[in-house]
Chains A and B, each alone.
Chain A
Amino acid sequence: MLRIRQLQTISVNLNISRQTSQYSQSAFNGIIYKHRPCCCVRTFSNDSKDKKIPSIKDASVNLMNDSIQSSEQKHDGSKKSKSLLFGMLFTAFTLGTIWFISPTKNKPKEFKLEEKKKRPIQKNPSNSKDIPKDVPYLLIGGGTASFTAFRAIKSVDPKAKVLMITNENFYPYMRPPLSKEIWFNEDKELVKKKAFKQWNGSERSLFYEPEEFYTDCTSLMEAPNGGVAVARGWTVKKLDVNEKFVTLDDGTEIRFGKCLLATGAKPKLLPVFQAAKLNEKTSDLVKIYRDIHDFEDAYNLFEKSADVAVVGGGFLGSELACAMARKDAKGNKNVYQIFKEGGNMGKILPEYLSAWTTNKVKNEGVKVIADSEVVALKEKNKKLELTLNDGNTLLVDYAVIAVGVEANTDLADESGLEVDPELGGYLVNTELQARSDIYVAGDCACFYDTKLGRRRFEHHDHAVVTGRLAGENMAGARKPYLHQSMFWSDLGPDVGYEAIGIVDSTLPTVAVFAKSEKKTASKTLENENKDAKIENAVVEEEQTEKGEKRLAKSVKVSESGDEDFNKGVIFYLKDDIVVGVVMWNVFNKIGVARQVLMDHRKYEDLNEVAKLFTIHED
């Protein structure tokens, strides 16, 4: 894996920032020094000049960190080390992150999924009498944005008492691994523990913090140093903006000083799937994919299935299809991916690159069915029959629907909050404020970006960035949204990218790709390469039929000459101004891309701008 290899090198190269290193010999050795990589590693939201670590996988390292990886770093133990004693007491923390969303903007004909999930929601605490009734900070939603908001509040206001209310059964966790790493676990125990292996091989929980981190709802208000309590399985039904209280599903009222809405998004369902969900026979065969339960459901069923369909060609659909194909390394199953666009990530990537990516996804073992829509579903011998718009049918054990999400703004009507008619999401200003004392962050916030205009964004890092900003503002800051969040995706071993800004395939683009000199320099060399590849192909042929197929394809791709889209940078333009950047198999350059967006101007020659991304470096 390209990314993994790269990260390993990088971890060796981590620069020690001067600031931090002064503590490496102190009492805080065990804390800050160990955590230092996290600082350096963050790609996301805080990238600094020295940052070397790129991507995603680390993104997870972002919010939380992981001392394990750095624990072997040497330190000079000679001085002032009484502290060591304390340093030794700690360990890693964690944070992680992530998530993206699927294609946005499928507007009209899609309904919400109203149907109640069959899983029982366990309320914890079970009785609302145990939930505090008047809190300084109330966070509605238990996802990434809410969690980072809590962190920011507590950083500014150390003794803050924060109540989080989530309708999920879980403490806050990161979603991105649900369509990526967690599928790759070889150890089933890890899956049960809801953990995954990070790029460096270390194990990490999906949960940002263990249960012990949180304060019990019953003791929050008495805790002298405050804390965060999480009421799980509870739903807020109404928000009274003027009187500053919310009403829970059992009618209980909770007053607040400041309130954050971080209710996230929910999967969209086209009417045809909506109908299938409501039909008893097909209901269990059609799955949505958003939370831990959805993952467990799809994962457990995958083992027993021979044919699986993923509907949707965006981030979630493409990642999930690739993850499933990879999970099925022996190639015993059929993983179909069906979408209406012409290629994978068709709403994001320019057409030629989307087509190129689709080839890569096929090489991963996914049977891609592009330009197609499912027009009917029915049960047939306990399997699901999908009828496509060209009349063909497909029989699968189950189908996962990943055709995008929509902002969860259920509270808007009753609470008198405005929702953006086009983009969805609660309308907020540049400080993420909807009304006095009411803030919104993450997927459900439609905010005003002073550079790029009104936006709503469904990605993990966006939840991190806006959650933190909203938290700081709730605790008294009045900061604007300036720091652009990023997002990333990986599709198999050959495709990894990071992006920032407005990345929309309908915009004009200018891309600069690295042209390999080797291939053009000598034809003989090219032929040699080809021979080498064909040899490999023979070797793999013996392994599996699928292997053979994959190899055959990859040979074909390389034959297409030196015009390959392996590595480069793509600029998205609005009125000739760069509004978005995709770094294609180019990592660690988010900071440069941010500067380009910040510059917000026309460039005479984008090839000159591309030079700043050093696309020829390994």
Chain B
Amino acid sequence: MSYCRKFGPNNKDTVIFATKEDHSTTSNVKLPEREQQPGLIMPNGDINWNCPCLGGMATGPCGVEFRNAFSCFHYSEAEPKGSNCYDLFKTMQSCMQKYPTLYNKDLGDDDDDITSAAKELSLESSAENKALMTDGKQEKVKEK
């Protein structure tokens, strides 16, 4: 059983010791609805650019480029999704290359990453993404 003790000036501090058993029944208190903080996508489907999950992505030096690319992707109805956003991605990517400390912190050499990403893609290639993958490779060749 839980029990009570009083402490402090004028016994103003009440302390209840409760065992696990005492708290095993459901509380009879109903609290108001939880205040909903939006996540990345708001209830109406819009993007919440103030989401902490974006870190400095939407507010950093390539924030505008990022927003353009991400919005395009988010609202894309193309099949596969985002396939109409290639140029915007490219723009974002070239912006990010100007800020290596900011955007490549733990990725090491970019080129390697692109290579390995392309490899990964080719391994997992499916009919659906084959075209895209080819695009990616061409892109890589161009860069080299």
Contacts and interface: CB of A to CB of B under 8 A. Distances in A.
Interface of A: 17, 19-20, 23, 26-28, 31-32, 35-36, 38-39, 42, 45-49, 62-65, 67-68, 71, 77-86, 88-95, 150-152, 154-156, 158-159, 208-210, 212-213, 215, 225, 227, 350-352, 468, 472, 482-483, 507-515, 517, 520, 562-563, 591-592, 594-596, 598-599, 603, 605-612, 614-616
Given A89-B96, A154-B58, A45 B37 contact: yes
B118 to A, nearest CB: 7
A225 B50 contact: no
B29 A612 contact: yes
A591 B66 CA distance: 31
Contact of A81 (B13, B19, B57, B129): B129
A514 B22 CA distance: 10
Contact of B20 (A28, A39, A483, A616): A616
Contact of B35 (A83, A86, A515, A594): A594
B57 A93 contact: yes
Contacts of A606: 16
A509 B12 contact: yes
A104 to B, nearest CB: 20
Interface residues of B, number: 89
Interface string B56-81: 11111101111101100100000011
A558 to B, nearest CB: 16
A584 to B, nearest CB: 11
B55 A38 contact: yes
A334 to B, nearest CB: 31
A29 B5 CA distance: 54
B56 A89 contact: no
Contacts of A608: 27-29
Given A48-B39, A352-B15, A611-B23, A225 B114 contact: no
B64 A159 contact: yes
B18 A82 contact: no
B35 A482 contact: yes
A93 B58 CA distance: 11
Given A213-B102, A483-B37, A86 B60 contact: no
Nearest to B51: A39
6 contacts: A27-B82, A39-B52, A225-B61, A562-B17, A594-B35, A607-B22
A280 B37 CA distance: 53
Nearest to A84: B117
Contacts of A85: 93, 114, 117-118, 136, 139
Contacts of A152: 50
B37 A512 contact: no
A210 B101 contact: yes
A32 B32 contact: no
Contacts of B139: 85
Contacts of B63: 154, 158, 225
B82 A82 contact: yes
A415 to B, nearest CB: 29
Given A35-B53, A159-B64, A350-B7, 18 more contacts: A26-B81, A31-B54, A38-B53, A81-B121, A85-B118, A91-B106, A92-B106, A155-B59, A158-B63, A208-B56, A213-B61, A225-B65, A352-B7, A352-B8, A352-B13, A472-B50, A509-B14, A517-B20
Contact of A79 (B9, B129, B135): B129
Interface in B106-144: 106-107, 110, 113-114, 116-118, 120-121, 124, 126, 128-129, 132-133, 135-136, 139
Contacts, number: 279
Contacts of A512: 2, 15-18
Q: Could you say which of B19, B57, B59, B110 has the most chain A C-beta atoms within 10 Å of its C-beta? A: B59
A513 B18 CA distance: 6
B58 A155 contact: yes
A514 B20 contact: yes
A511 B15 contact: yes
B82 A83 contact: yes
Given A77-B120, A608-B29, A611-B26, A62 B52 contact: yes
A90 B96 contact: yes
B82 A155 contact: no
Contacts of B12: 507-509
Contacts of A91: 103-107
Given A39-B39, A65-B55, A88-B107, A515 B19 contact: yes
Contact of B136 (A42, A82, A156, A513): A82
A596 B31 contact: yes
Contacts of B65: 225
B18 A351 contact: no
A64 B50 contact: no
Contacts of B66: 31
B56 A68 contact: no
A333 to B, nearest CB: 34
A483 B17 contact: no
A79 B80 contact: yes
A151 B89 CA distance: 23
Contacts of B15: 352, 510-513
A607 B63 CA distance: 49
Contacts of A90: 57, 96, 103-104, 107
A63 B107 contact: no
A17 B9 CA distance: 47
Contacts of A81: 120-121, 124, 129, 132
Nearest to A91: B105
Given A85-B117, A515-B18, A94 B56 contact: yes
A27 B55 contact: no
Contacts of A562: 17
B21 interface: yes
Contact of A86 (B8, B81, B89): B89
A470 to B, nearest CB: 13
- Ranked nearest first, the 8 interchain pairs of A and B with the lowest CB-CB distance are A93-B55, A39-B53, A82-B132, A611-B27, A155-B50, A46-B37, A154-B59, A595-B31
Contact of A509 (B13, B18, B60, B124): B13
Contacts of B54: 31-32, 35, 93
